[in-house]
Amino acid sequence: MTTLLVIAKEPRPGRVKTRLTPPFTPRQAASLAEASLADTLDAVAAAPACRRVLVLDGEPGPWLPPGFDVVPQCAGGLDERLAHAFARCAGPALLIGMDTPQVTPELLTVDFTGCDAWFGPAEDGGFWALGLARPDPALLRGVPMSTATTGAVQRDRLVAAGLRVRDLPSLRDVDTAADAHAVAALAPDGRFARLLAGCAGSGRAGGEPAPASGPLPGSRPALAAASRPAGPR
């Protein structure tokens, strides 16, 4: 069975979703990031997996559901951090980010029978998911990240290595306010959509959603430290 990895940043104001400001305040942007992460983790928790790992830059909070190992990200660029996450996996693994709260457990239920890799392109030219039957960090190192051609370069790297690649549906990342509204419309019942509606419904720039440091509506209680095995963003 597959290991499911989520690479994420701790949702703190000024550190995440800075392209949402403006129109949102840094605190609103962090709360939206937290809601996106919580929705993503819920989808991962509901998908079949032999292990679920949060590869985190920062500290876990009350948004973390049970059943996840938390491991620190290594230093370096995103390509190095992704490579390092895969390097810690001994068998098939699928890695996603925290920017697609519309993701479903069904999308994360991949079968490597007859293929070596799964690739999920993002609408902005990047990728939202990468699955490897035999994780090899060299497949990611040196791929230019955060460009309009990142996804194409990464997929070409897989094909050039002789891997049989299957494609997942293209998804839209949440980077800008326009992205946020488009994605919320795809998953209107999620935490992200409900929180975004609260931001938009505040009617004033100072209107704030639930604080990023506190629990979101419907979030699970914080885990005791002992229930979060140490282990990688």
Mean pLDDT of the chain: 88
- Rounded CA-CA distance 139/166 in Å is 16
Lowest mean pLDDT among 54-58, 155-159, 161-165, 200-204: 200-204
d(CA 105, CA 116): 20
* E strands present in 69-152: 69-72, 93-96, 117-121, 127-132
pLDDT above 50 (res 3): yes
Distance CA 118, CA 131 (A): 5
pLDDT recorded at residue 164? 98
Q: What is the pTM of this model?
A: 0.86
Inform me whether the pLDDT recorded for 10 exceeds 80. Answer: yes
Only one residue has tokens 């005791």, namely: 224
How far apart CA 165 and CA 39 sit, in angstroms, is: 27
CA-angle at 161, arms to 137 and 111, nearest 5° = 75
Across the range 186-206, mean pLDDT stands at 79
State yes or no: pLDDT of 225 exceeds 80: no
Calculate mean pLDDT across residues 20-36.
96
- Laid out side by side, the sheet with 51-57 consists of 69-72, 51-57, 3-9, 93-96, 127-132, 117-121, 165-167
Residue 201's pLDDT is what?
57
